[in-house]
Amino acid sequence: MRTPKRKLGKYAHLKPDALITEAKYNELKRKLEAMKKKRPLVAAEVKRLAEMGDFSENAEYQIAKGRLRGLNQRILDTEDHLRRANIIKRPDNTDIVRPGHRVSVKINGKQKEYLILGSSETNPLKNIISRNSPIGSAVMGRKAGDKVKIRLKNKEIECEIIKIS
């Protein structure tokens, strides 16, 4: 059985954002170690299934081989991410907005507080936004008291930076 080849999407080959916190870095290291411990087990399974004979009709072998390929690719991707990682340190200077800062902003009369991190750690439900998001990119490098315009899909809104911590 042969699996169909699908065309990858336009975001398939993007590298993850290198800007991560120390906690995320440690989490990636733990995941990498777990994947490396799992690899010999998956390779042994492939070897066991390869001994069953004809590869063309051995669907279990094909699936196990695909699982091993996927695991190897995830290991390579995680190692690359860790190698390129740029760890966010809590900035001491709160004059201008940088990654790792908490920023209080007023948008449409409502005050909100966001933590600005890299793209791989965003969680809008917990008010953790990316430095590349519309709000994040608009406030990066700005000072408290600055008013910035945020361009959204079909409108433009004004945002005032209240506090940087």
Strands 19-20 and 86-87: parallel
How confident is the model over 132-151, as a mean pLDDT?
Answer: 91
How confident is the model over 37-64, as a mean pLDDT?
Answer: 88
pLDDT, one tens digit per residue, over 9-35 is 777 677 888 899 999 999 999 999 999
Q: Which residues of 60-77 are buried (b: 16+ CB within 10 A; e: fewer)?
A: ebbebbeebeebeeebee
CATH 3.40.50.1360 corresponds to the domain 102-164: no
Residue 2: per-residue pLDDT: 64
Domain ranges of the chain: 19-87, 102-164
pLDDT beyond 80 at 3: no
CB 87 within 8 A of CB 33: no
Q: Where are the alpha helices (DSSP H) in 5-146?
A: 22-50, 59-84, 134-139
- Give the predicted TM-score (pTM) of the model: 0.81
pLDDT beyond 70 at 1: no
CB 87 within 8 A of CB 22: yes
pLDDT beyond 80 at 87: yes
Residue 37: per-residue pLDDT: 97
CATH 1.10.287.180 corresponds to the domain 19-87: yes
User: Which of 50-59, 128-137, 150-159 has the lowest average pLDDT?
Assistant: 50-59
CA distance 64 to 152: 45
